[in-house]
A and B are shown apart, each in its own frame.
Chain A
Amino acid sequence: GYPAEIKMDIDRLYEAVPQLSKMFLIEDKIGEGTFSSVYLASAQLKSGLIEKFALKHLIPTSHPVRIAAELQCLAIAGGQDNVMGVKSCFRKDDHVVIVMPYLEHVSFLDLLGSMRLEEVCKYMFNLLKALRRIHHFGIIHRDIKPSNFLYNGHLKKYALVDFGLAQGTPDTEINLLKVVKTEEQQGSGSRCKPTTSSGNKVFHTITINKPLAQQTTGKQPIKRPGPLLQPKHGKEEYLNLSTQRSVFGERSLNVCCAGYFEGLGIKPGKSMKTTDIASRKIITAKRKISTKGTTSGLVRKPTICPSHLTCDCFMTDKVCNVCLSRRQQVAPRAGTPGFRAPEVLMKCPQQTSAIDMWSAGVVFLSLLSARYPFFKASDDLTALTQIMTIRGSKETLQAAKSFGKTVLCSKESPALDLRTLCERLRGTDSMRKKTFNQNIEVLNCSHLNQGILCNSDFKSIERSPDTKGWDRVPDLAYDLLDKLLDLNPATRITAEKALQHPFFEGL
């Protein structure tokens, strides 16, 4: 039933957007996500050339402003420096199809097993080039991962794709992302602005009244988070507050709202997994209410615990009805589990393009260790703990402090040496020792003693196809990895700086 199903999908797409049938031969369905399906099609250009294209059919429930923002990212930042561009766009009513050049690519899992060190170096260089490009335009991609970075080894072509989760920096050059940004600022911290402070016309048109939808945090969204995936019914009555909110809040912010909780006692071994997803607007409303000291109607026992009270649980292993009754902090967390930066996992409201750099670091970690996915967690705090076992608990605590978070962990874990970690995981640790010693005997080369690889060494790597260079990974690779996986977003290396890193010398 597989090909027949695809054929049906193709026919339905022709039907939904009839203009397509005049120009495209849709050959296959090559991707399906929660918010879009991607098809492979060919078309003839006026020049006579027949080319292949990727047709991205967005789910018809997507808000036009979100669609337009994605188009704007592709149109302004795309088409250069390994960033996917846009060829055209077709629409009929709510059906929008974005036409992009097609790049045939290999799956990351297949790449992992076959890539030479030199190829990994180029792959990272090209990913960073794409990141420099989008960050230059003030785009935070939010979903950097191998499946969004297409690679064709034969053509030596790369393409960063999918701006469906993108967010703008305060000075973004993508106008429509400013709409998203306005929303972020609204939701962040105490700098809560009234809706009317925004002069953005579009923003007002997309602000609407809506009851809340929510989702358990236990099940991680694959992509755009929010109630799109698993709207959870039943608990709504506690949160069924009609307030102004925005469509962007629904998807780009997967917000946990502690509107209520079951009982006040702590059930051992059972964490509160039933935190709900709400919009920032709701939280904004709640905050206003709670700071006035009135009951919001959202908290089950509002009279016992006004949320401005402090308790003695801070930085201890305790929680009580006072601290647990406070509102949950709102921060963007759209993206893919395992690629979220620590500041995202810890709900830091001010997030920068540094979150993409962390994700690039996770990709690099996968490439060096030959493990994918590297992190595997069903919730944000498990993901954070996995990071801590790699980067160290003390180090994580210290970095967290720099962005305003305290972390208490019952277990201490030391920061690991990245080389040792990656080589053990890849299984090249014993191999390296052997060849390293041999090399020392043969060549008494100073840079080898330091473990640094220079261009002449790359040539020798090519001559030893068995190891693909993995027996001689330069220290510079792990130095760059260390800088990408910097726990502190303020000091984490930028794409611009990373491209100048000596690991890429000669590229």
Chain B
Amino acid sequence: ATRYRTKAGRLKKPFIKVEDITRYYRPFYHQFDCYPEINYHGPNPCSPFDVEKKNKSGDKQNKGKTRSKHHEMSCSEKNRRMERKIMETLKEKKKRGYCECCTVKYDDLKAHLKSEQHKTFSQSTEFNVVDQITSQFDCDFEEFPKVKMKRVKCSV
């Protein structure tokens, strides 16, 4: 019994709870709406843990008929679309971030890079550690103007 008022709650099933045996740290847990299950029937190469929300609605339309090639298409297409979506959001988010050099968060990458603080850092001796390693590489590139010409041609 402690002098302190304790408020306890029971985790709602299904759940998982992990705690360090030292009991020094906060336990962490997750209560599932949908407990992970292996789905053997999803088309290759979809994850067996793919929650088939879309497929379910598709099944309803098809009255639960066999998974056709159409399904496989939609799955990989879904994956690709997801990937693209992630890339897009990443691109958006890219403007916001954290600068390790200045140790500040920024909302606009471009603006931050132009800031006095960052400019000062980027021109400082902090980068000596990079240059020191770089100086060990032997640079056997040919400086040729031909390449430049090509580039101009390419970009036209």
Partners in one complex: yes
How many Cβ-Cβ contacts under 8 Å join chain A to chain B? 321
CB < 8 Å: which of B48, B91, B98, B147 contacts A228? B98
Q: B residues 108-152 with Cβ under 8 Å of A?
A: 109, 112-113, 118-119, 121-123, 126-134, 136-137, 139-144, 147-148, 150-151
- Are A61 and B99 in touch, CB under 8 angstroms? yes
CB < 8 Å: which of B13, B32, B113 contacts A60? B113
What is the bound-complex CA distance between A181 and B4, given in angstroms?
A: 39
B31 close to chain A: CB less than 8 A: yes
- Are B45 and A372 in touch, CB under 8 angstroms? yes
> In the complex, how many angstroms separate the beta carbon of A427 from the nearest chain B beta carbon?
7
> In the complex, how many angstroms separate the beta carbon of B42 from the nearest chain A beta carbon?
8
What is the bound-complex CA distance between A96 and B127, given in angstroms?
A: 10
What is the bound-complex CA distance between A38 and B7, given in angstroms?
A: 53
> In the complex, how many angstroms separate the beta carbon of B97 from the nearest chain A beta carbon?
5
- Are B47 and A371 in touch, CB under 8 angstroms? yes
What is the bound-complex CA distance between A66 and B127, given in angstroms?
A: 11
Q: A residues 208-231 with Cβ under 8 Å of B?
A: 208-210, 213, 222, 226-231
What is the bound-complex CA distance between A424 and B32, given in angstroms?
A: 26
CB < 8 Å: which of A94, A222, A247, A268 contacts B86? A222
> In the complex, how many angstroms separate the beta carbon of B73 from the nearest chain A beta carbon?
13
CB < 8 Å: which of B26, B90, B140 contacts A222? B90
Q: B residues 1-58 with Cβ under 8 Å of A?
A: 2, 4-33, 35-38, 40, 44-50
| Also in contact, A376 and B49, with CB within 8 A (given A71-B134, A318-B11) | yes
> In the complex, how many angstroms separate the beta carbon of B5 from the nearest chain A beta carbon?
6
What is the bound-complex CA distance between A318 and B13, given in angstroms?
A: 11
* Chain B residues with CB under 8 A of A315: 19
| Also in contact, A319 and B9, with CB within 8 A (given A45-B142, A227-B98) | yes
- Are A213 and B48 in touch, CB under 8 angstroms? no
Residue of A nearest to B6 (CB): A320
> In the complex, how many angstroms separate the beta carbon of B10 from the nearest chain A beta carbon?
5
B105 close to chain A: CB less than 8 A: yes
- Are A72 and B133 in touch, CB under 8 angstroms? yes
> In the complex, how many angstroms separate the beta carbon of B83 from the nearest chain A beta carbon?
10
* Chain B residues with CB under 8 A of A426: 44
What is the bound-complex CA distance between A86 and B136, given in angstroms?
A: 11
Over the window 68-97 of chain A, the binary record of Cβ atoms lying under 8 Å from chain B Cβ atoms (1 yes, 0 no) is: 100110010000000000111111011010
* Chain A residues with CB under 8 A of B126: 64, 205
> In the complex, how many angstroms separate the beta carbon of B133 from the nearest chain A beta carbon?
5
- Are A75 and B9 in touch, CB under 8 angstroms? no
* Chain B residues with CB under 8 A of A377: 36, 49
A411 close to chain B: CB less than 8 A: yes
- Are A190 and B30 in touch, CB under 8 angstroms? no
- Are A406 and B133 in touch, CB under 8 angstroms? no
What is the bound-complex CA distance between A370 and B131, given in angstroms?
A: 44
> In the complex, how many angstroms separate the beta carbon of A210 from the nearest chain B beta carbon?
4
* Chain B residues with CB under 8 A of A386: 36, 49
What is the bound-complex CA distance between A500 and B90, given in angstroms?
A: 41
- Are A71 and B130 in touch, CB under 8 angstroms? yes
A504 close to chain B: CB less than 8 A: no
- Are B15 and A409 in touch, CB under 8 angstroms? yes
CB < 8 Å: which of A64, A311, A408, A409 contacts B129? A64
CB < 8 Å: which of B7, B31, B131, B142 contacts A320? B7
> In the complex, how many angstroms separate the beta carbon of B114 from the nearest chain A beta carbon?
11
Please choose the segment from A116-124, A132-140, A326-334 that sits at the chain B interface, where 4 or more of its residues have CB less than 8 A away. Answer: A326-334
What is the bound-complex CA distance between A374 and B103, given in angstroms?
A: 36
A313 close to chain B: CB less than 8 A: yes
> In the complex, how many angstroms separate the beta carbon of B21 from the nearest chain A beta carbon?
5
What is the bound-complex CA distance between A161 and B83, given in angstroms?
A: 21
24 sample A-B contacts, Cβ–Cβ < 8 Å, listed by A number: A22-B143, A25-B150, A88-B141, A94-B127, A109-B76, A227-B97, A228-B98, A229-B90, A304-B5, A311-B8, A317-B17, A318-B11, A320-B9, A328-B28, A347-B25, A371-B48, A375-B49, A376-B50, A382-B30, A407-B16, A408-B18, A410-B11, A410-B13, A425-B44
Q: A317-B15, A320-B6, A404-B21 are in contact. List 11 more A-B contacts (CB 8 A).
A: A48-B142, A61-B100, A88-B139, A89-B134, A228-B98, A317-B13, A320-B9, A328-B25, A375-B49, A389-B38, A390-B38
